Amino acid sequence: MAAKGKLIKPHGSDELNPLFVYDSAKNEALQKEAAGLASIVVSSATAANAVMLGGGYFNPLTGYMNKADALSVAKTMKTTSGLFWPVPILNLVKDAGSIKAGDRIALKDPNVDGNPVLAVMEVKAVEEFSDEDMAMMSENVYRPNHKEAHPGVDAFNAQGKVCLSGPIQVLNFSYFQEEFPDTFRTAVEIRNEIAERGWKKVVAFQTRNPMHLAHEELCHMAMDRLGCDGLVIHMLLGKLKKGDIPAPVRDAAIRKMVELYFPKNSAMVTGYGFDMLYAGPREGVLHAIFRQNMGATHFIVGRDHAGVGDHYGPFDAQIIFDKEVPKGALLIEIFKADHTAYSKKLNKVMMMCEAPDHTKEDFVLLSGTKVREMLGKGIAPPKEFSRPEVAEILIKYYQSLEK
């Protein structure tokens, strides 16, 4: 737990070590050097890893993992040096061409027109994973049920099997700073703001969707029960799956909710540049690590956290912290949440597990499909489900799709 007056320590080191080159002269010199280096346009996942490394979220990593570390992390959640880490952080390509160990190369951004240089990498090794290696990593990290396709596994395997490892120096934050200037924040910036606000106990909430009343009340519940003086709503701004609401719309809806329903100086609305892995429990642990790196002391892990389809049990992302995360591996603490919904009996939002005398009929429950249908028709969901001001923003978005 963080000492009074002092922020929680980052994962794996005493100080945060962001890989972004903040010195403008050095950054410019590296940009010039990059123009003369061999270059590759990396995958979206590799680019997202660079953005997270640049912002200090993946502290204490200094770059992309080599084959031995990636396999060790997939099998044991530890690197070969013993650092606790749940997911391989890789630069995978289909073909490395003439790139070899010892080369300095430019990593180009696949998500920005013209593919500008995102980072300069010192290649320590060029190695190839076997089909068995890829299958083992897919199995251990994503834990698919094999009854349905898994978007995370598909995206992972589509990148290629050649692994380029080594330290990187990050030169920009891809499209995130430009497209989300009010929301995108690095772990460094969030840490600084937490310190400036004088918060001691801080709970983080992960979202890739707009927040309805149940989410809002869950955040209030966590803050009250933990005695927190700050909440960081931390939005995923990277690639999502088809049908998800775009980040600017989510951002507007969440800001409106915070403005109207949270006390002043109690909540920060921020976002981070990463693609969703949909890796369920393992991704839940990764989420906790980078929330510790940004200065949160607590992290809300809800039902089916980072899940997709029917690949995981509803509480697998909570169970992993009890069963597989070694004691003392993380300083951040987990706030375990059940599905929350409005109780018609008690006239308030409850965690379902805390209302044993209720049946499903006693709660206001609407499926995502039903909510989208209502919003598309210009009908606001009931006030027990969504704040009217939030619904208004979402109605405008869904009606714009009809045109």
- According to the model, what pLDDT value does residue 3 have? 39
Query: H or E element: which one contains 54?
Result: helix 44-54
- According to the model, what pLDDT value does residue 368 have? 84
- According to the model, what pLDDT value does residue 276 have? 87
Which one, of 122, 90, 75, 86, lies nearest residue 11 by Cα?
86
- The answer to whether the 24-177 and 182-402 domains have the same CATH topology is no
Which residue blocks in 55-172 are alpha helix, DSSP H? 67-76, 131-137, 151-158
Largest Cα span, the chain: 69
- According to the model, what pLDDT value does residue 365 have? 94
Choosing from 27, 140, 157, 208, the catalytic residue is 208
Q: How confident is the model at residue 262 (pLDDT cuts 50, 70, 90)?
A: very high
CA torsion, ordered 396, 397, 402, 403, to nearest 10 deg: 80
CA dihedral over 265, 271, 272, 276, signed as positive or negative: positive
* Residue 145 reports pLDDT greater than 90: yes
% of the chain with per-residue pLDDT over 70: 98
For domain 24-177, the CATH superfamily is Sulfate adenylyltransferase (3.10.400.10)
Tell which phi-psi region holds residue 315, choosing left (phi > 0), alpha (psi between -120 and 50) or beta: alpha
* Residue 25 reports pLDDT greater than 90: yes
User: What's the mean pLDDT when you consider all of the chain?
Assistant: 95
Please give the Cα distance from 218 to 224 (Å, whole number). 10
Q: How confident is the model at residue 56 (pLDDT cuts 50, 70, 90)?
A: very high
Residue 106 CB burial class (10 angstroms; 0-12, 13-18, ≥19): buried
- Structure confidence by residue, pLDDT tens digits, 233-242: 999 988 666 6
- According to the model, what pLDDT value does residue 2 have? 40
- Structure confidence by residue, pLDDT tens digits, 334-362: 999 999 999 999 999 999 999 999 999 99
Instruction: Kindly give the interhelix angle for 280-293 and 316-323, rounded to the nearest 10 degrees.
Output: 70
- According to the model, what pLDDT value does residue 11 have? 98
> What average pLDDT does the segment 139-145 reach?
97
Amino acid residing at 341: A
* Residue 1 reports pLDDT greater than 50: no
- Structure confidence by residue, pLDDT tens digits, 279-298: 999 999 999 999 999 999 99
- According to the model, what pLDDT value does residue 241 have? 63
Please give the Cα distance from 284 to 306 (Å, whole number). 6
* Residue 115 reports pLDDT greater than 90: yes
Please give the Cα distance from 371 to 386 (Å, whole number). 10
- According to the model, what pLDDT value does residue 4 have? 42
- Structure confidence by residue, pLDDT tens digits, 168-189: 999 999 999 998 999 999 999 9
* Contact predicate 152/278, CB 8 Å: yes
- According to the model, what pLDDT value does residue 243 have? 73
Active site residue 49: no
* Contact predicate 185/232, CB 8 Å: no
What's the topology of domain 182-402? Answer: Rossmann fold (3.40.50)
> What average pLDDT does the segment 96-109 reach?
98
Q: How confident is the model at residue 330 (pLDDT cuts 50, 70, 90)?
A: very high
> What average pLDDT does the segment 15-38 reach?
98
* Residue 107 reports pLDDT greater than 70: yes
* Contact predicate 330/11, CB 8 Å: yes
* Residue 394 reports pLDDT greater than 50: yes
> What average pLDDT does the segment 304-310 reach?
93
Domain extents for the chain?
Answer: 24-177, 182-402
Sorted by sequence, the CB contacts under 8 Å of residue 106 that are 6+ apart come out as 34, 35, 37, 38, 39, 40, 117, 119, 120, 121
Sorted by sequence, the CB contacts under 8 Å of residue 258 that are 6+ apart come out as 233, 267, 269
Active site residue 143: no
Choosing from 17, 157, 209, 372, the catalytic residue is 209
> What average pLDDT does the segment 388-402 reach?
93
> What average pLDDT does the segment 180-206 reach?
96
